[in-house]
Chain A
Amino acid sequence: GENVEQHPSTLSVQEGDSAVIKCTYSDSASNYFPWYKQELGKRPQLIIDIRSNVGEKKDQRIAVTLNKTAKHFSLHITETQPEDSAVYFCAASSRGSTLGRLYFGRGTQLTVWP
């Protein structure tokens, strides 16, 4: 099955700085890569996703990049704000073009200091 590795496990940045979280996956058949944000005591929320036919996707201060050859993808948050503090999970789906099982990374605790 798919194996998703996520780094770093914790990340502290100053408000206004950028944050980058990286993930690798093992199954070359994986073609859907979402990112979730989970605030303390809340449900995971989908914040951005990318498919394998796209190399980069942006949504305001958040961007995701995908390198299929190297089998890694990254989340970039620019101009970080204290409300960005949360646990971020990457995931990969290995079931063709329909929504299949998602395999999650271990998560990154992001802390943004004011």
Chain B
Amino acid sequence: SAVISQKPSRDICQRGTSLTIQCQVDSQVTMMFWYRQQPGQSLTLIATANQGSEATYESGFVIDKFPISRPNLTFSTLTVSNMSPEDSSIYLCSGGTFEKLFFGSGTQLSVL
């Protein structure tokens, strides 16, 4: 399986601030995605992180709120901007090979 490292593992933030989450994957990975998982809920795809170009966002997610970078094949960041309590969730980086998708350990975000 692919090795996916994500940090921070958790953070508590104030309303109106921004948090950047980092994800490092090993070289087996070609595709990278960002998911959100609210407590007790399923996984919702935020966007596909495209190397060297703008991310592809799913319906309901916009670049101004969730800017994503992927400067090279193995690294990506997700920023949660201008946070509100509704952004409290677990954010998961994921990486895939041709066939399989693996997940990072997640970032548990609490917004006060």
Binding site for B on A (CB under 8 A): 1, 32, 34, 42-46, 49, 89, 98-99, 101-107
Looking at chain B's contact residues, the main secondary structure is loop
Q: Which residues of B contact A42 (CB under 8 A)?
A: 105
Closest to B58 in A: A101
Q: Which residues of B contact A (CB under 8 A)?
A: 1, 30-31, 33, 41-45, 48, 58-59, 92, 96-106
The one of A32, A44, A46, A102 that contacts B45, using a Cβ cutoff of 8 Å: A102
Measured between alpha carbons, how far is A8 from B104 in the docked complex, in Å?
Answer: 27
Knowing A43-B92, A99-B31, A101-B33 touch, does A89 contact B103 (C-beta < 8 A)?
A: no
Q: Is the CB of A46 within 8 A of B106?
A: no
Q: Is the CB of A107 within 8 A of B42?
A: yes
**Residues in B neighbouring A99, C-beta threshold 8 A:** 30-31, 96-101
CB distance from A53 to the nearest CB of B (A): 13
B79 to chain A: closest CB distance in Å?
Answer: 21
* A44 and B100 contact, CB distance less than 8 A: no
- Which of B45, B92, B100, B105 makes the CB contact (< 8 A) with A103? B45
A34 touching B100 in the complex, CB below 8 Å, given contacts A44-B43, A102-B45, A107-B42: yes
